[in-house]
């Protein structure tokens, strides 16, 4: 699944080609994604200028005078900039046709993505209860300590909760807990303020580095500029179960936690 760095990489890739462009058409080949595409979406965006492209969590927001198109890539979605006349492939479900002659094309084999609308001045229900952005000042040790207080949930599942903080998906949760030296099953409420402070720093550091390097290359993701990400080369634990730890050479353990693959070092993480 594309995680925050992949979505941010996509935003940066498409933003220069979308900002200032006018939408001349909306082509919907498959309206039944995770949620149905609004029937009146064409009326809302046709002949309207894109003011900016923003990211909130894993949602991309294309801002128009009257509101914003909300795009989520789901588990397998990708956005491409193509010539508007380029024939669509089987999984190319939506085209936002621009005055430049290009089209922003959503490809989504599993159809778990979404294309929705948010009216100006409102907060869509899917965005209203999201936690702070991990790279913002509002996500800090004081905030995380308050959230963790008396919580018995495993810290890995806790930081993956978008109501606590957005964008820390499974890959990066594995990585930041390793970097912070925290066992993924440790109860959130039993971690000291000092260690939570380190965890906050590692979340910011790992996600920032992943964004800089273009996101993690997975089989279903290609950046908005057509170039794959490269952070996968630096993964310390994710996907490396039963391999030696890069720090102490202890064999990494792989377990299922919250139905997600979790890899950790039994020596480095406590």
Please check whether residues 59 and 115 belong to one and the same domain.
yes
Please state which of the ranges 19-28, 149-158, 216-225, 227-236 shows the lowest mean pLDDT. 216-225
Sign of CA dihedral 96, 2, 17, 103: negative
Contact yes or no for 168/160 (Cβ under 8 A): yes
More confident residue, 109 or 222: 109
Q: What is the CATH number of the domain that holds 218?
A: 1.10.8.50
Q: What is the model's pLDDT at position 117?
A: 98
Instruction: Name the domain boundary from 81, 104, 128.
Output: 128
Q: Is residue 269 part of a domain?
A: no
Tell whether 124 is in a known binding site.
no
Per DSSP, the three-state class of 156 is helix
Q: What percent of the chain has pLDDT over 90?
A: 83
Q: What is the CATH number of the domain that holds 41?
A: 3.20.190.10
Please check whether residues 92 and 149 belong to one and the same domain.
no
Please check whether residues 180 and 112 belong to one and the same domain.
no
Please state which of the ranges 26-35, 188-197, 233-242 shows the lowest mean pLDDT. 233-242
Please check whether residues 208 and 186 belong to one and the same domain.
yes
Q: How far is CA 138 from CA 90, 120, 141, 146, 255, in A?
A: 42, 24, 9, 13, 32
Q: Which of 54, 53, 46, 31 is nearest to 97 (CA)?
A: 46
Instruction: Name the domain boundary from 105, 128, 151.
Output: 128
Tell whether 105 is in a known binding site.
no
- Grade residue 223 by pLDDT with cuts at 50, 70 and 90: low
Which pair of tokens denotes residue 148? 């963790």
Please check whether residues 149 and 250 belong to one and the same domain.
yes
Please check whether residues 60 and 166 belong to one and the same domain.
no
Q: What is the model's pLDDT at position 229?
A: 60
Q: Is 89 exposed, middle or buried (0-12, 13-18, 19+ CB in 10 A)?
A: exposed
Q: How many domains, in total, are found in the chain?
A: 2
- Read off the pLDDT of each residue in 227-234 and give the average, rounded to a whole number: 61
- Grade residue 128 by pLDDT with cuts at 50, 70 and 90: very high
* pTM greater than 0.85: yes
Please check whether residues 20 and 119 belong to one and the same domain.
yes
Q: Which structural domain, as residue segments, surrounds residue 12? A: 4-128
Instruction: Name the domain boundary from 128, 154, 185.
Output: 128
Active site residues: 2-3, 58, 260
Please check whether residues 122 and 15 belong to one and the same domain.
yes
Please check whether residues 152 and 116 belong to one and the same domain.
no
pLDDT per residue as tens digits for the range 169-184: 999 999 999 999 999 9
Q: With 60 as the cut, is the pLDDT of residue 122 above it?
A: yes
Please check whether residues 93 and 196 belong to one and the same domain.
no
Please check whether residues 124 and 145 belong to one and the same domain.
no
Please state whether 27 falls in left (phi above 0), alpha (psi between -120 and 50) or beta: beta
- What are the backbone dihedrals phi and psi of residue 233, each rounded to the nearest 5 degrees, phi first? -60, -25
Q: Is residue 135 part of a domain?
A: no
Tell whether 110 is in a known binding site.
yes
- Grade residue 260 by pLDDT with cuts at 50, 70 and 90: very high
């Amino acid at each position: 699944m594309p995680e925050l760095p992949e979505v941010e990489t996509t935003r940066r890739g498409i933003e220069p080609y979308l900002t200032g462009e006018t939408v001349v058409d909306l082509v919907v080949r498959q309206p039944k994604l995770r949620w149905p595409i609004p029937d009146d979406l064409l009326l809302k965006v046709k002949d309207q200028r894109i003011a900016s492209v923003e990211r909130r969590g894993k949602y991309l927001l294309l801002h128009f005078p009257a509101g914003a198109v909300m795009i989520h890539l789901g588990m397998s979605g990708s956005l491409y900039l193509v010539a508007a006349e380029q024939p669509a492939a089987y999984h190319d479900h939506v085209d936002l046709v621009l005055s430049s002659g290009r089209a922003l094309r959503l490809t989504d084999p599993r159809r778990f993505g979404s294309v929705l609308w948010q009216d100006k001045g409102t907060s869509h229900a899917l965005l209203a209860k999201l936690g702070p952005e991990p790279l913002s000042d509002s996500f800090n040790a004081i905030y995380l300590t308050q959230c963790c207080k008396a919580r018995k949930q495993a810290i890995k599942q806790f930081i993956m909760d978008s109501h606590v903080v957005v964008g820390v998906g499974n890959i990066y949760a594995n990585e930041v807990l390793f970097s912070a030296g925290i066992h993924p099953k440790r109860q959130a409420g039993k971690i000291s303020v000092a260690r939570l402070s380190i965890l906050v720093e590692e979340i910011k550091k790992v996600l920032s580095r992943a964004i800089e390097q273009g996101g993690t290359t997975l089989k279903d993701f290609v950046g908005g500029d057509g170039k794959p990400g490269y952070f996968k080369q630096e993964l310390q634990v994710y996907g490396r179960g039963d391999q030696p730890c890069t720090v102490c050479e202890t064999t990494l353990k792989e377990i299922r936690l919250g139905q997600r693959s979790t890899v950790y070092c039994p020596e480095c993480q406590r």
